[in-house]
Amino acid sequence: MKLNVTECAGRLLSKPSEQSADVVVDRVDSQFQDHSNRFRLVNKDFSRQYFHFYAERLSSMKELLLPRINQKWGTNIPVKTLADLKEDSTDRCIIVGTLYKHQELKPSILKEISEENQLVPQPPRSEYTGDEDQLILEDELQRIKLIGEINPHDVITGVVCAVLGAEHEGGKFKVEEYCFPTPSGPSQPLIPPSEDRYIVLVSGLDLAGSADVLFPFELLVDWVSGWLGDIGEQKNQALVSRILFAGNSIRCKSANRGAALQHVSEGLDQSSTLDAVKTFDEFLQQLASNIPVDLMPGEFDPSNCTLPQQPLHCCMFPKAAAYKTLHSSPNPYDFEVDGRRIIGTAGQPIDDIASFTRITDRLAILQHTLEWGHIAPSAPDTLRCYPFAGKDPFIIKELPDVYFVGNQPSYQSKIFSGDNGKEVRLICIPKFYQTKTCVVLNLRNLDCHTMTFGEPLSEDMEVEK
């Protein structure tokens, strides 16, 4: 394969002309609104139990689920509580509750510290599913084991669900069909831009752990800033209105690999972390001087480990913080830009669900969480979470335009269509330190593609001068 240098370089190798001199390209302006206040913790109280959190989730999502029940099964089948079920009754009914997945392989601190059994702590596993996994449905007062047409390996603890069926012998409920509280479209549709507008999505820089990521990241920063390419390429770059870092910019894995707990602070390699923060500050300074920047924390970034993660403090980035275009946001992150509603996380909920189900496709898991109407259904069972009382901020009440997840093994994307025709762009953002790839999203039509930096020429490529 031969590459023509003149064609690839555009006008860079052409002779100077009056038209190409002193050309000024202005970046497009964007309309932005942050909707993430529900994820910001003002008064923290960790003394509460999680019962109130689950009770609020069931109560709130039951209201969202009832219209879906009527739409799918009509109004002739009664909706009952578990207390209303009668023995030896085979009448079909609908039960609404929260799924609990009983798994023998699920990690349990009570098992590990049991003095009676004297168990040795088991090594961490990548998957905790087993053939003996069982599903149990819990409502406000009781619980019942589920059998029938529902696969335990396709759901997770914490999902609110409506099941249609009848009580079976042995105190079990035989499921014929089930329904999730999939949100509908927004009550007030937004108006997307009439011309091309782009945002760039990046995740998993791992500046403290990957030495070979600096050059590709510098190319990315120069490309977004408009320092690469000819005038035609710079005009395209001027259409990028925002760049978002979706977590794990400092680290992508625990610095203390030998620790029993993954998030302990003792013994961390502080020097490499501080150097990475300073380096990141310099890159952010260049970006913030040219374009609005959204900065989300990730699982291994210097932030709290429980969801929702709070924004990284501006004192960590003194150079970039001088610009008002630097916007430190929580994880999860919910915002609106140029008439598009965008929601996403840094990846913890999707990674956790992958460990406790047999769903291997990360994009399918992302779609499932949208259908379940919840960003992090496995919290607080297997995912660290703040003990909220009186609200569950992770509930998705209306379909967004874009639903993303960061720090995934590879890039994936598709369009999800809701019942009312509302389309949602699902995006799995790859880890940059592994793929050297970012995602470019067009806000006008929700098309997206990838940009890869620092890829060397293959051996079969010859440059034609």
Which residues, 6 or more positions from 116, have their beta carbon under 8 angstroms from its beta carbon?
Answer: none
Same domain, 134 and 232: no
| Within a domain: 26 | no
- Predicted pLDDT of residue 461: 44
**Ramachandran class of 453: left when φ > 0, alpha when ψ lies in -120 to 50, beta otherwise:** beta
Q: How many domains does the chain have?
A: 2
Same domain, 242 and 380: yes
- Predicted pLDDT of residue 24: 75
Q: What are 228-262's pLDDT values in tens digits?
A: 877 778 888 899 999 999 999 999 887 554 444 44
Same domain, 247 and 379: yes
| Cβ atoms 246, 344 nearer than 8 A | yes
* Mean pLDDT, range 386-407, rounded to an integer: 95
- Predicted pLDDT of residue 105: 83
Residue 277 has pLDDT above 90, yes or no: yes
Residue with tokens 């999902």: 159
| Within a domain: 49 | no
- Which of 179, 198, 215 is the endpoint of a domain? 179
Same domain, 157 and 214: no
- Predicted pLDDT of residue 464: 45
Same domain, 161 and 246: no
Please tell me what DSSP assigns to residue 10. T
* Mean pLDDT, range 199-224, rounded to an integer: 93
Same domain, 389 and 363: yes
- Predicted pLDDT of residue 89: 75
| Within a domain: 366 | yes
* Mean pLDDT, range 65-92, rounded to an integer: 89
Q: How confident is the model at residue 294 (pLDDT cuts 50, 70, 90)?
A: very high
Q: How confident is the model at residue 116 (pLDDT cuts 50, 70, 90)?
A: low
| Within a domain: 225 | yes
Distance of CA 95 to the CA centre of its chain: 30
Structural element, H or E, at residue 165: strand 160-168
Same domain, 284 and 388: yes
Same domain, 280 and 426: yes
* Mean pLDDT, range 442-460, rounded to an integer: 81
| Within a domain: 399 | yes
| Within a domain: 433 | yes
| Within a domain: 25 | no
Which sign, positive or negative, has the C-alpha torsion 257, 260, 261, 267? negative
Q: What are 4-60's pLDDT values in tens digits?
A: 444 445 555 566 655 555 667 788 888 999 999 999 998 888 888 899 999 999 999
Q: Which pTM does this prediction carry?
A: 0.89
Same domain, 145 and 194: no
Same domain, 208 and 357: yes
Residue with tokens 């207390």: 83
| Within a domain: 353 | yes
- Which of 135, 160, 179 is the endpoint of a domain? 179
CA separation for the pair 362, 351 (Å, rounded): 8
| Cβ atoms 130, 105 nearer than 8 A | yes
Residue 396 has pLDDT above 80, yes or no: yes
Same domain, 396 and 360: yes
Domain residues for 204?
Answer: 32-43+186-255+264-452
CATH number at residue 236: 3.60.21.50
Same domain, 190 and 162: no
Q: Which of 320, 374, 312 lies closest to 343, judged by CA?
A: 374
CATH number at residue 132: 2.40.50.430
